[in-house]
C-alpha cells in the first residue's frame, strides 16, 4: 500500500478581483472532533468548482459552513473567516437570512415545499412583501427558464410540486434557490438522487447557470466533476490537499494521492 505525505499541498490562488468567495483558516469542530482543519481556499467568479474526496473527508461540512448551515447544529463550531465581498460572513453579527440571499444552497435530495410549483418559487418573495402578481409571475418564469424547467411545467404551475419527477423537483429547487438572485450557488451532491439522463440535464443547466452564478458543487461522481467543473478540489480527512484546474487534477495531478484518488486506486 502506498503511503502519502499528507503535509504536501498544491493549492491554486486567483487574482483578488476574480474571487467570489474565500475562506481563511476555516476550522469546523463537532464537539471535540475537528472535521475541517484550517482551510484557505478561494473560489473564482462565474466558474464551477467541484469538491471531491472520500466519504467523511469533510466536503459537506465545508460546503455547509460557507452559508452558515452548520449554525443549526448545536455541537458545531466554526472558526476562521469566510470572506464575501470584503465581509466576513462568519461573524456573529451577520444577518444570516440576508446573507443566504447572496449565497444560496441546493440540497442532495430535492426538497420542494408541499405547495404548488408556482408557490414554491413565490413563497419567499411573498413573505418578503412582494404582492404584485405580474412581478411574481415574472420571477417564476425567469427562474424556471434558467433552471431549464419552464417548458415542461408552464401549463401546470398550480399543480403540486410533488407531481414532478425527481429530476424536475431538483430543478424546481434550483429555480427556487436562484429566484432570489444569489451570486453563489452551493450544491451538495445535487444529482445523487437522479437518473443518468436527469443528471446530464442538470449538468447542462449548471453550464448555463455559470454565466450568472459562481457554483460550488460536491460530487462523488468523478465523470461529473471532470465534465462539468472548471476547478476541482481534493479533500482528505478535513484538509484541502490539491486544488487546481479540473483538467490538471484529472490528467496531471501534482500529488500522488490526488491522481490515485481520481483514478480509483485509493479511497
Ligand X SMILES: Nc1ncnc2c1ncn2[C@@H]1O[C@H](COP(=O)(O)OP(=O)(O)OP(=O)(O)O)[C@@H](O)[C@H]1O
Nearer of residues 60 and 257 to Mg ion, judged by Cβ: 60
Instruction: Compute the least distance from the CB of residue 124 to ligand X, in Å.
Output: 26
Residue 18 DSSP label: G
Listed ranges 58-66, 97-105, 206-214, 255-263: which one lies at the site for ligand X (CB under 6 A) = 58-66
C-alpha cell at 86: 470584503
Helices (H), the chain: 59-66, 96-102, 117-127, 133-146, 150-153, 166-178, 196-209, 222-228, 246-251, 256-262
224 binds ligand X (CB under 6 A): no
How far is Cα 202 from Cα 30, in angstroms, rounded to an integer?
Answer: 32
How far is Cα 235 from Cα 218, in angstroms, rounded to an integer?
Answer: 11
- Report the candidate in 70, 157, 165, 162 with the shortest Cα–Cα distance to residue 117: 157
How far is Cα 192 from Cα 132, in angstroms, rounded to an integer?
Answer: 37
Instruction: Compute the least distance from the CB of residue 108 to Mg ion, in Å.
Output: 8
Listed ranges 54-62, 144-152, 198-206, 251-259: which one lies at the site for ligand X (CB under 6 A) = 54-62
- Report the candidate in 37, 32, 44, 85 with the shortest Cα–Cα distance to residue 65: 37
179 binds Mg ion (CB under 5 A): no
| Residues 51-90 interacting with Mg ion (rule: CB under 5 A) | 60
Please choose which of Mg ion, ligand X, none residue 61 contacts, taking the beta carbon within 5 to 8 angstroms, the exact cut-off set by kind: ligand X
Please choose which of ligand X, Mg ion, none residue 128 contacts, taking the beta carbon within 5 to 8 angstroms, the exact cut-off set by kind: none
259 binds ligand X (CB under 6 A): no
Listed ranges 55-63, 112-120, 133-141, 146-154: which one lies at the site for ligand X (CB under 6 A) = 55-63
Nearer of residues 65 and 122 to ligand X, judged by Cβ: 65
59 binds ligand X (CB under 6 A): yes
- Report the candidate in 43, 99, 51 with the shortest Cα–Cα distance to residue 71: 99
Judged by the rule CB under 6 A, the positions of this chain that interact with ligand X are: 30, 35, 53, 55-61, 73
Amino acid at each position: 500500500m502506498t503511503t502519502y505525505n499528507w503535509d504536501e499541498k498544491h493549492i491554486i490562488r486567483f487574482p483578488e478581483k476574480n474571487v467570489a468567495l474565500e475562506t481563511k483558516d476555516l476550522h469546523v469542530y463537532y464537539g471535540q472532533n475537528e472535521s475541517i482543519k484550517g482551510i484557505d481556499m478561494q473560489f473564482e467568479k462565474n466558474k464551477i468548482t467541484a469538491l471531491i474526496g472520500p466519504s467523511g473527508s469533510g466536503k459537506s461540512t465545508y460546503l455547509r459552513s460557507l452559508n452558515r448551515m452548520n449554525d443549526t447544529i448545536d455541537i458545531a463550531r466554526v472558526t476562521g473567516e469566510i470572506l464575501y465581498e470584503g465581509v466576513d460572513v462568519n461573524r456573529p453579527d451577520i444577518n444570516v437570512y440576508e446573507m443566504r440571499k447572496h449565497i444560496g444552497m441546493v440540497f442532495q435530495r430535492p426538497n420542494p415545499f408541499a405547495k404548488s410549483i408556482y408557490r414554491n418559487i413565490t413563497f419567499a418573495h411573498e413573505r418578503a412583501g412582494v404582492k404584485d402578481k405580474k412581478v411574481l409571475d415574472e420571477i417564476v418564469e425567469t427562474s424556471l427558464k434558467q433552471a431549464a424547467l419552464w417548458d415542461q411545467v408552464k401549463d401546470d404551475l398550480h399543480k403540486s410540486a410533488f407531481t414532478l419527477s425527481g429530476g424536475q423537483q431538483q430543478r424546481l429547487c434550483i429555480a427556487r434557490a436562484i429566484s432570489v438572485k444569489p451570486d453563489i450557488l452551493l450544491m451538495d451532491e445535487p444529482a445523487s438522487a437522479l437518473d443518468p439522463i436527469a443528471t446530464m440535464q442538470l449538468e447542462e443547466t449548471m453550464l448555463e447557470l455559470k454565466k450568472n452564478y459562481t457554483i460550488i458543487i460536491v460530487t462523488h461522481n468523478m465523470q461529473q466533476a471532470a465534465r462539468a467543473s472548471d476547478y476541482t478540489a481534493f479533500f482528505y480527512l478535513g484538509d484541502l490537499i490539491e486544488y487546481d484546474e479540473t483538467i490538471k487534477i484529472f490528467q496531471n495531478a501534482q500529488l500522488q494521492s490526488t491522481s490515485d484518488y481520481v483514478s480509483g486506486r485509493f479511497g
